[in-house]
C-alpha cells in the first residue's frame, strides 16, 4: 500500500492531523461520538484499512491518557453493569465475525443514533429540571452488550452506550469518566480477538508516531472545552455529534 510515510499525499497529513485532534477532543469528553468520524475523514484519501491501522495505536494512547485524567471520576455502579455486558458483546462479535454484514449494523446503529439525538434535542429544550436516575441492570446489560458488539464489528460503540448513560442525567465529568474507562477496557479487550482474526496491522506504526505529538493538543483542547461548557451545552454538543455520527453510519450502511 504505502511503503514509506513520504509516499503519502500532503492532503493525507492534513486530514490525519484533523482526525487525531478530533479523536483527542472527543475522547476528552467534548464531542463524544464525533471521534467515530476520524477514520472516515482519513479514508477520503487513503484506503479505510490503512486509516484504521494508523489510528489504532493513537486511540490506545488516548485511552491511557484518559485513564489518568479521569481517574476516580467514573461511576462504579454503572461500570459493574456495563463492563460485563461489553465483554459479552465483544465475544458475540468475535464468534460471528464474517457472518454478519457490517453495513447493516452501521445502518441500524446510525438510525438509532439519529433518533436518540433528536430525543436529546427535545430534552434540552424542556424547561423541566433533569433529575438523576440510578443505573438499571437489564437495560445496562442490553445496551452495553450492543455497544461491545458494534464496537467490535464496526467501531460504532458510542451511540448505544450513550443511549443507556445519558438519560441518567449524571454530572458531565462523571459521565465522561465512565465512558473513558468503558472504552479503554473495550478497546484493549478487542486486541486479542483482532490479532487472532488478522486485523491488527502495525506495519504503519511509524505514521502513527509522526501524528503522536498532536494527541495531547487535542486532548487538552477537548478537556478545557468540557470544563467550560455547562450541562445544557454539554448535552447539546453531545446530541449534535451523535446526530453527525448517526448520519455518517446510516450513509455507510446504505451506500458503502
pLDDT tens column, 209-239: 999 999 999 999 999 999 998 888 888 888 8
What's the sign of the alpha-carbon dihedral 52, 58, 60, 63? negative
pLDDT of amino acid 179: 94
| Cell numbers linked to 81 | 453493569
State residue 119's pLDDT score.
86
119-133, 184-198, 240-254: which range is least confident on average? 119-133
> Are the C-beta atoms of residues 20 and 215 closer than 8 Å to each other?
yes
Q: What is the 3-state secondary structure (H, E, C) of 49-67?
A: HHHHHHHHHHHHHHHHHHH
pTM for the model = 0.86
As a whole number, the mean pLDDT across the chain is 87
pLDDT of residue 5: 58
Domain boundaries, the chain: 5-255
Amino acid at each position: 500500500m504505502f511503503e514509506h510515510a513520504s509516499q503519502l499525499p500532503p492532503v493525507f497529513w492534513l486530514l490525519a492531523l484533523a482526525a487525531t485532534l478530533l479523536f483527542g477532543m472527543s475522547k476528552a469528553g467534548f464531542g463524544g461520538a464525533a471521534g467515530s468520524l476520524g477514520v472516515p475523514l482519513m479514508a477520503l484519501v487513503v484506503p479505510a484499512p490503512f486509516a484504521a491501522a494508523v489510528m489504532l495505536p493513537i486511540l490506545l494512547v488516548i485511552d491511557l491518557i484518559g485513564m489518568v485524567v479521569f481517574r476516580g471520576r467514573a461511576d462504579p455502579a454503572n461500570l459493574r453493569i456495563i463492563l460485563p455486558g461489553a465483554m459479552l458483546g465483544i465475544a458475540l462479535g468475535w464468534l460471528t465475525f464474517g457472518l454478519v454484514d457490517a453495513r447493516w449494523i452501521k445502518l441500524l446503529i446510525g438510525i438509532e443514533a439519529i433518533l436518540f439525538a433528536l430525543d436529546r434535542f427535545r430534552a434540552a429544550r424542556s424547561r423541566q429540571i433533569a433529575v438523576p436516575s440510578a443505573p438499571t441492570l437489564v437495560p445496562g446489560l442490553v445496551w452495553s452488550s450492543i455497544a461491545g458488539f458494534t464496537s467490535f464489528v464496526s467501531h460504532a460503540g458510542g451511540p448505544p452506550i450513550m443511549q443507556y448513560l445519558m438519560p441518567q442525567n449524571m454530572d458531565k465529568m462523571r459521565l465522561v469518566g465512565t465512558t473513558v474507562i468503558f472504552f479503554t477496557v473495550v478497546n484493549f479487550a478487542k486486541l486479542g480477538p483482532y490479532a487472532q482474526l488478522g486485523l491488527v496491522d502495525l506495519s504503519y506504526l511509524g505514521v502513527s508516531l509522526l501524528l503522536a505529538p498532536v494527541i495531547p493538543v487535542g486532548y487538552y483542547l477537548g478537556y478545557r472545552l468540557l470544563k467550560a461548557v455547562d450541562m445544557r451545552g454539554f448535552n447539546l454538543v453531545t446530541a449534535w455529534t451523535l446526530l453527525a455520527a448517526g448520519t455518517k453510519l446510516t450513509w455507510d450502511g446504505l451506500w458503502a
